[in-house]
């Protein structure tokens, strides 16, 4: 499209490239986000399926894994105006069915796990400190939603000096338009877009070093 030529003219969208020490981040793949009648939709189920496959490979490759989910302790009173914009989030108490991790991507012992109360996986958690402690320089980002929590986490990962890699077949949204628009924008400004196949190939190069 002609109106997008300005990005190329202004030299947006340069490649970052993989680093040497990756970590895999899985954002909000919870029961409610797998249900189109609750908080799901569009490609959420396929993104969960692809992420479960990538998770198995990451574990076998000894790549550190981080899981984060959204929950509210006070029927939404602890998430401020987020609860006004999205009232259904009030139902995601820590013990509710919809707040639980989807079984296929459930955390295992030894993996970083946290609960957040807003978009970014970094906000209100010790994710940045954990990534720093393990020497991570590359963050492989999966989860949902592409236009919301994935985007917010990608921007923060960039702000913390990491190499954000958004795994395109492992991120989902409830509608196609926001999904595609935000993938485009993240690639132009904050991250590289990669496929799970490319990530698996990257894992193999790590084994050879």
| Catalytic site includes residue 144 | no
pLDDT beyond 90 at 208 = no
48-100: per-residue pLDDT in tens? 999 999 999 999 999 999 999 999 998 899 999 999 999 999 999 999 999 99
Domain annotation covers residue 5: no
Prediction pTM value: 0.96
Domain annotation covers residue 14: no
Q: Which domain holds residue 181?
A: 20-207
Number of domains in the chain: 1
118-133: per-residue pLDDT in tens? 999 999 999 999 999 9
* Span 103-127, average pLDDT: 98
Scored b (16 or more CB within 10 A) or e, 101-138 reads bbeebebeeebbbbbbbbbbbbeebebbeebeeeebeb
Among the listed residues 149, 155, 171, 199, the single catalytic one is 149
* CATH code, domain carrying 196: 3.40.50.850
Domain annotation covers residue 4: no
Domain annotation covers residue 7: no
pLDDT beyond 80 at 116 = yes
């Amino acid at each position: 499209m002609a109106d997008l030529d300005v990005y190329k003219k202004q030299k947006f969208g340069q490649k970052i490239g993989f680093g040497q020490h990756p970590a895999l981040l899985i954002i909000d793949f919870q029961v409610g986000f797998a249900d189109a009648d609750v908080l799901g939709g569009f490609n959420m189920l396929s993104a969960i399926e692809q992420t479960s496959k990538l998770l198995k490979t990451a574990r076998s490759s000894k790549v550190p894994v981080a899981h984060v989910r959204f929950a509210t302790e006070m029927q939404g009173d602890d998430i401020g105006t987020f609860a006004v914009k999205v009232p259904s989030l009030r139902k995601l108490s820590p013990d509710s069915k919809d707040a639980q991790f989807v079984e296929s991507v459930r955390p295992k012992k030894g993996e970083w796990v946290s609960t957040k109360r807003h978009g970014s996986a970094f906000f209100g958690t010790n994710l940045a400190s954990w990534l720093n402690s393990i020497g991570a320089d590359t963050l492989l980002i999966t989860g949902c939603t592409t236009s919301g929590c994935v985007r917010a986490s990608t921007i923060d990962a960039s702000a913390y000096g990491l190499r954000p890699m958004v795994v395109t077949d492992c991120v989902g949204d409830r509608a196609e338009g926001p999904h595609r628009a935000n993938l485009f924008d993240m690639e132009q400004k904050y991250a590289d877009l990669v496929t799970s196949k490319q990530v698996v190939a990257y894992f193999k190069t790590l084994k050879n070093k």
